[in-house]
């Protein structure tokens, strides 16, 4: 079975204080833009729209089933949010976007990402697979969903936040997911 390398470069704004890590992008056929959380039915950008603009549709392009990449890049840069995934090479055990069927072949070098983010004090995992992968790599304690644990990655003290998945497969309404993310952004 073939492996798949990560199709995107890490998004690392100079001022980033938060590094958000998912597991791995869905198959390209499911993308609505060339950026992180590209799947139209993934709610990450709706959660951010609801939290920061009181409008779950803020990052959607009107009349299209696509997100506004330029607005998202500007938002993440202004808010100091870096984005990447915990795996840079995977094997899909089924041809879908489910983390359950992702085998991590090569984990991301978190120390290298942090070296490029001198102001980063928090890592946020956006789902179970991402959490499991970061725990394996770092030895940090695993926080419960919506909680934070403190640990060291390399020589840096980091707060590790575990957020609910923004996938619609995760059985929690968008508004409830947004409440977990609200606590994160109020504290970081």
Give the model confidence (pLDDT) of 57-116 as tens digits: 999 999 999 999 999 999 999 999 999 999 999 988 877 556 677 788 999 999 999 999
CATH code for the domain in which residue 132 is found: 3.40.470.10
Per-residue pLDDT at 170: 84
Per-residue pLDDT at 169: 81
Q: Is a pLDDT exceeding 80 seen at residue 132?
A: yes
Per-residue pLDDT at 73: 98
Instruction: Give which of 188, 187, 186 is closest to 119, Cα–Cα.
Output: 188
Cα–Cα distance, 157 to 154 (Å, whole number): 8
Instruction: Give which of 125, 129, 130, 167 is closest to 146, Cα–Cα.
Output: 125
- Residue-wise pLDDT for 19-49, tens only, equals 999 999 988 888 999 999 999 999 999 999 9
Instruction: Enumerate the β-bridge partners of residue 11.
Output: 83
| Domain span at 160 | 4-187
**Residue 144: band (very low, low, confident or very high) from pLDDT cuts 50, 70, 90:** very high
């Amino acid at each position: 079975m073939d492996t798949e390398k990560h199709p995107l470069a890490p998004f690392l704004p100079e001022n980033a204080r938060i590094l958000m890590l998912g597991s791995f992008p869905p198959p390209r056929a499911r993308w609505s833009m060339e950026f992180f959380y590209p799947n139209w039915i993934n709610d990450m950008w709706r959660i951010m729209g609801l939290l920061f603009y009181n409008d779950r549709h803020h990052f959607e392009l009107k009349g299209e089933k696509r997100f506004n990449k330029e607005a998202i890049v500007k938002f993440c840069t202004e808010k100091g949010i870096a984005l990447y995934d915990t795996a840079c090479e995977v094997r899909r055990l089924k041809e879908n976007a489910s983390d359950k069927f992702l085998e991590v072949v090569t984990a991301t070098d978190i120390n290298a990402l942090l070296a490029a983010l001198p102001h980063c004090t928090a890592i946020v995992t956006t789902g179970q697979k991402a959490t499991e992968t970061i725990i394996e790599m770092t030895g940090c304690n695993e926080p419960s969903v919506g909680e934070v644990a403190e640990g060291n990655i390399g020589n840096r003290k980091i707060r590790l936040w575990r957020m609910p998945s923004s996938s619609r497969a995760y059985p929690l309404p968008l508004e409830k997911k947004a409440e977990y993310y609200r606590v994160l952004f109020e504290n970081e």
